[in-house]
Chain A
Amino acid sequence: DQQVKQNSPSLSVQEGRISILNCDYTNSMFDYFLWYKKYPAEGPTFLISISSIKDKNEDGRFTVFLNKSAKHLSLHIVPSQPGDSAVYFCAARNSNYQLIWGAGTKLIIKP
């Protein structure tokens, strides 16, 4: 079973505060997890990744946390900025090197 789930279709956060986006998965054999960001009328763009052997990866305002026992990962954005308003996809790489995608979470940053 290979599923990636993003259970929150949307999230609204005040500018300057922390945004936390969540993702759950079913297959313990996924070896990489990725977050992509998508603006309207554009293709997804790679944001940050984490290997399954790590529990944290940080890149500027973006940090991804992986909890393997819970099969859960989260993306933290601190501080949130208006330009962060987009749809965020979580994806996991399977043993065939293919990405399995979640349904996305629409993040809205309020001024």
Chain B
Amino acid sequence: EAEVAQSPRYKITEKSQAVAFWCDPISGHATLYWYRQILGQGPELLVQFQDESVVDDSQLPKDRFSAERLKGVDSTLKIQPAELGDSAMYLCASSLGDSYYEQYFGPGTRLTVT
């Protein structure tokens, strides 16, 4: 069964350092989502791509976060510089298209900023 791949699974970094997360969605899925999940809360959408274009990044802290999906396939989320409050689970999900409600999630990257 096709899965969404994410790496790394765990990342520990010091504040002010740069970190990057990678996501490879299910083949053929046009829509890709990056979420942040803080312990005890539900996922919060950071950015949504339709193919290589950003559909919504209104919740992305653009002073330190950036995301790209250059060829409309895999995607990278970057944080520079990392802050203590960025410690969270970063989840990537994909769907066939933005009108499809079912999203398929990767295992996530657990980020700890010290």
Count chain B residues whose beta carbon lies closer than 8 angstroms to a beta carbon of A. 22
| Chain A CB within 8 A of B26 CB | no
Number of A-B contacts (CB under 8 A): 50
| Chain A CB within 8 A of B83 CB | no
A4–B98 alpha-carbon span in the complex (Å): 20
A99 and B101: CB pair below 8 A?
A: yes
- Which residues from chain B contact A9 at a C-beta distance below 8 Å? 40
| Chain A CB within 8 A of B107 CB | yes
| Of the residues B4, B9, B44, B98, contact of A97 by C-beta under 8 Å | B98
Q: Mark B23-47, 1 if CB is under 8 A from A, else 0.
A: 0000000000000000011111100
A41–B42 alpha-carbon span in the complex (Å): 15
| Chain B CB within 8 A of A69 CB | no
Q: Mark A26-67, 1 if CB is under 8 A from B, else 0.
A: 000000101000000111111001000000000000000000
Since A34-B101, A96-B56, A99-B101 are in contact, a sample of 9 more A-B pairs with Cβ atoms closer than 8 Å, ordered by chain A residue number, is A32-B101, A43-B107, A46-B104, A49-B101, A89-B42, A89-B43, A99-B45, A103-B41, A104-B42
A positions within 8 Å CB-CB of B: 4, 9, 32, 34, 41-46, 49, 89, 91, 93, 96-99, 101-104
